[in-house]
Structure 1
Amino acid sequence: MTTHFWLNETRPARQAGAPENRVYVRQYGNGRAILLAVHGFGRSGARMERLGLQLGDQFTTLAPDLPYHGKTEWYDDRYTPREFSRILQQLLDRYPDRPVFLMGHSLGGRYLSSCLAGLEHPDLRDLVLVAPDGAGGRYTNWIDTLPSMLVRPLARISERPRSILRLSGWLSKRGIINRYSAEYLKSNLNDRPFRRRIAGTLRSVLKFPPRAEAFERALQRHAMVCTVFVGDRDPLLHHDRLQSIYGPLPSVALHHYSGSHWLPERLLGEYYRNSLLTTVP
């Protein structure tokens, strides 16, 4: 079964008559267990379709479109962990009596690990991060190294293609961003939704910093474990940095597989079917 629904962002509008942010959620399958899956930058919840249909008899997969992505209608110029946590909490509150598994890919992994401490549910079972950004990603790793006073103007000029292309060329020549990122910007900046997506994400992403100790505390509070899946040919990860952050955490297991940055649906399908066998009576 494939369907969708909307979630409203519940905080009061800043101005009377201001449009309301709405999050578009795709739903795949009708199994009893819930899989809440968050996609990466530039994608949408549709990225989870093959995995969701593969697991459809055992799981109901909920795949929200991130702000500025897919069909989500996000009118504010940024979002915070508190706002994003409220969206995730709305999904969890729909299923208080069902086991819930969490999965984040790339930027979605960064967001889930940052928001985990603020989520509540009586039966959170497991967290999976696939090629998580922030703790080793090349997409926004360079943003984490910049002072916040530079990120704000960078977000503004990202809405002006010529300016950001000149800047990305300058950053690429000095090794601050890699060539892949510079070419990615060059090929997409003529698209207006993309410009708004990258500007809004730039304004928001530093509010979701990777904090290893806080993440470990959140896992222990929920009595959860986390598996981090890392493709051995993933060109978008700083593998050493990812190992140094996640490797020492007692509640985290690193799993290296043969692959790149793409979502490994077959591997994840096997993982979740085995998880049900070992955790659900």
Structure 2
Amino acid sequence: MNTHFWLTATKPKKNPDQPDDRLYVRKYGTGHAVLLALHGFGRNGARMERLGMNLGKHFTTLAPDLPYHGNSEWYGDRYDIAEMTELLQQLLDRFADRPVFLLGHSLGGRYLSACLAGLHHPQLRDLALVAPDGAGGRYTNWIDTLPAKLIRPLARLTERPRAILRMSDWLKKRGIINGYSAEYLKYNLNDRPFRRRLAGTLRSVLKFPPSPEAFERALRERNIRCTVFVGDKDPLLHHDRLTRMYEPLPSVELHHYPGSHWLPERLLAEYYQNSLVTVLP
């Protein structure tokens, strides 16, 4: 089964006549257990379709399009942990009587990690992160290393492709971003929706700072564990930095697999099917 519905943000609007910010949520499968899955930057919830349909007999997969992505309608110029947590909590509240699993890929992993402390559900079972952002990724690490006061003007520059391309060359020459990142920007900045997506994400992502201690505390309070899946050929991760962040945490297990940055659908399908052995009668 493949359907969708909308989640509307409840924050007060600066302009009463402004349309509501809302997330487009894709729904796959009809199983009793719930998988809430967040995609990475530049993708949308449809990235979870094959996994969701594969698990559809035992799972209902909920895959929102993040703000500025896919079919979601986001009119504000940014969002923060409180807003994202409130929207995810709306989803969890709809399924209070079912076991829930959380999955975040890349940027979605960063968001789930940051929001976990504010999420509450009586049957929260597990969290899995695939190539999570926030641990020194080669593509996104430069955002975390820039002074916060530069983020706003950098976000404005995304509306001026030539200026941001000059900026990307400047950042590349100084070793702040790598050649892949510079080419990625060059390829995509002619697309206006991409520029808005990049601007909104730039303004928002630093509001989700990685905090290993707070993350471990949130896992313990919910009595759940986290598995971090890392592709051994992932060119977008600083593997040493990721290991230093997650390996010391008692509630986290690192799982290395042969692969790159893409979602390992077959591996995850086996992971969730095996997880059900201890959850469902």
> Match of 1:137, as an amino acid?
G
The structure 1 segments of at least 4 consecutive aligned residues displaced by more than 2 Å after TM superposition are 278-281
State how far apart, in whole Å, the 1-side matches of 2:252 and 2:279 are.
17
SS of 2:254 mapped into structure 1: strand
For residues 144-159 of structure 1, what are the structure 2 equivalents within 5 Å?
144-159=144-159
> Match of 2:107, as an amino acid?
L
Deviates more, 1:265-274 or 1:5-14: 5-14
SS of 2:108 mapped into structure 1: helix
Deviates more, 1:51-60 or 1:139-148: 139-148
Matched, 1:192 2:224: no
State how far apart, in whole Å, the 1-side matches of 2:139 and 2:44 are.
17
Matched, 1:14 2:14: yes
SS of 1:138 mapped into structure 2: coil
State how far apart, in whole Å, the 2-side matches of 1:16 and 1:104 are.
33
State how far apart, in whole Å, the 2-side matches of 1:81 and 1:12 are.
16
For residues 3-152 of structure 1, what are the structure 2 equivalents within 5 Å?
3-152=3-152
Tell me the residue number matched to 2:219: 219
> Match of 1:66, as an amino acid?
L
Tell me the residue number matched to 1:236: 236
SS of 1:209 mapped into structure 2: coil
Report the TM-score, using the length of structure 1 for normalisation.
Answer: 0.99
Q: Is the 8 A contact 1:106 1:137 kept in 2?
A: no
Deviates more, 1:198-207 or 1:140-149: 140-149
Tell me the residue number matched to 1:168: 168
Q: Displacement, 1:138?
A: 2.0
> Match of 1:214, as an amino acid?
A
Q: Displacement, 1:141?
A: 0.8
Q: Displacement, 1:280?
A: 2.8
Tell me the residue number matched to 1:248: 248
State how far apart, in whole Å, the 1-side matches of 2:182 and 2:273 are.
39
SS of 2:23 mapped into structure 1: strand
RMSD: 0.7
Q: Displacement, 1:279?
A: 2.9
SS of 1:76 mapped into structure 2: coil
> Match of 2:269, as an amino acid?
G
SS of 1:137 mapped into structure 2: coil
Tell me the residue number matched to 2:261: 261
SS of 1:185 mapped into structure 2: helix
State how far apart, in whole Å, the 2-side matches of 1:193 and 1:240 are.
34
> Match of 2:264, as an amino acid?
P
Q: Displacement, 1:139?
A: 2.4
Q: Displacement, 1:278?
A: 2.4
Report the TM-score, using the length of structure 2 for normalisation.
Answer: 0.99
State how far apart, in whole Å, the 2-side matches of 1:42 and 1:69 are.
7
Give the aligned length.
281
For residues 72-125 of structure 1, what are the alpha-carbon distances to aligned partners after superposition, in whole Å with 9 as ceiling and x for unaligned? 000000000000001100100000000000000000000000000000110100
SS of 2:16 mapped into structure 1: coil
Deviates more, 1:133-142 or 1:250-259: 133-142
State how far apart, in whole Å, the 2-side matches of 1:143 and 1:11 are.
26
State how far apart, in whole Å, the 1-side matches of 2:167 and 2:62 are.
37
Q: Is the 8 A contact 2:99 2:279 kept in 1?
A: no
Q: Displacement, 1:173?
A: 1.4
SS of 1:34 mapped into structure 2: strand
State how far apart, in whole Å, the 2-side matches of 1:22 and 1:144 are.
27
State how far apart, in whole Å, the 2-side matches of 1:122 and 1:154 are.
41
State how far apart, in whole Å, the 2-side matches of 1:278 and 1:259 are.
28
Q: Displacement, 1:211?
A: 0.3
State how far apart, in whole Å, the 2-side matches of 1:22 and 1:113 are.
21
Q: Is the 8 A contact 1:133 1:139 kept in 2?
A: no
Q: Displacement, 1:170?
A: 1.0
State how far apart, in whole Å, the 2-side matches of 1:137 and 1:72 are.
26
Q: Is the 8 A contact 2:139 2:180 kept in 1?
A: no
